[in-house]
Amino acid sequence: MNMMKTAMLIAFMTALFMGIGLLLGGRGGMMIALVVALGMNVFSYWNADKLVLRMNNAREVDARTAPEFYALVERLAHNAGLPMPRVYLIQEDQPNAFATGRNPQNAAVAATTGLLARLTPDEVAGVMAHELAHVENRDTLIMTVTATLAGAISMLGNFAFFFGGNRDNNNPLGFIGVIVAMVVAPFAAMMVQMAISRTREYAADRRGAEISGSPMSLASALAKIAGAAHLTVNENAERNPAMAHMFIINPLNGQRMDSLFSTHPDTANRIAALQAMTDIGPRPGPSLARDARAPRAAINGQPGPWSRGADRRTPPSGKGPWG
């Protein structure tokens, strides 16, 4: 079903891309847009995950450079029955996380240093389990491709704004066509992003709670992240708003309402759904974040935010304890 939804979304985005080409350059513009869209779809499938990680300045870590965090993700992946994803850290004070990759065998999960500093181990486990749920549900491909194509459609809208006045008679709708290309098409792409993200976040919350075994740890994490996100500016996300829907909580400053223009469901509604799971009873699972086997060694000679005596409430400054 998810693969079918992915194909339908890519087809819709491609048709939208071609429609903009038609409005700006007639049939010739439409054919050029088709070729560009096909090329972008192929590129997105194979390389969009790398692009998203690079746009966020994510740094890959392993069992040597971030033993506690890496071991936590490893245990969660094992509990979910997934291959071990690549693990990344982002030097960013805003607490947040996302997953990317075209399939579970080529997946990556990333968390900000602010997330590790502000949340408890059980809360971090809930967040990363949520991201692994996106991997398991194969949401990562559709979310990554959507981010890439939506950005391209917005770029064409900007092109229409600056160069629409130089159009020739190939434009079938004249000035109205330029307005549609400039406003309607980017708006439609944005609405698709929002609809996809909002519906899939609830499913990832539920499955993530099952993987971690603690719905309320994830609920607590969502409350903390949402409370801090609107107070902390994520410069990378602000520069690239098309990828906002990939994060567990909207990283764009000031987006706090569950409105028509929100990329994420209202946090209170998500917490209520997780609370309902505790009333019914989630699938039994260990408190993975407190597994006795978890390494608690210092990283680069400095105690991590989960080590004894560390202040978990203080966001990292400079490079932080994670390097």
For the annotated binding site for Zn(2+), the residues are: 130, 134, 201
Enzyme catalytic residues:
131
The rounded radius of gyration (Å) of the Cα atoms in the chain is: 21
Say how far apart CA 181 and CA 33 lie, in whole Å.
13
Say how far apart CA 220 and CA 141 lie, in whole Å.
28
